[in-house]
Structure 1
Amino acid sequence: MHRTQIYFDEPLFSAIKQQASRLNVSVSAYIRETLKKEISRQQVKPEPIDFNEFAGMWEGRDISQESLREKAWK
């Protein structure tokens, strides 16, 4: 395990101590678990986008490279 020092302002440290006490764990254990949860939450892969709602949106439109260039240079 790695040891480090962190500086907290008084209101934040007071809240951390209260939460740790409420959960009956040490301040260090509370901080470790809170950080683990936050990191794992951020690493959750987002659900894939369902592109079915976009199906057919270009139907009937001329989106050839030639027509797009023609419109872009007008």
Structure 2
Amino acid sequence: MITNDHLQLLSVAETAELLGLSLNSMYMLLNTDPSFPAIRIGKKWVIQENRIPEWITQQMTKKNVDKN
């Protein structure tokens, strides 16, 4: 984890563990969902930890809207 006062960046493995996903599923998510709070720096993905809860909320809201 990379951290400073305002920003905490997680690795793909750390994020997969946090979300309960396999590494393959995590990479699939990174490559298919542009709304996921991650950026690619060279060949490495980094994920902004403090934006993950907001992304989850958006996904839940989107799922509920799609149901109706």
Please give the TM-score of this superposition, normalised by the length of structure 2: 0.34
Structure ranking higher on relative contact order (CA contacts 8 Å, 6+ apart):
2
**Which structure: greater strand fraction?**
2
| Bigger Cα Rg | 1
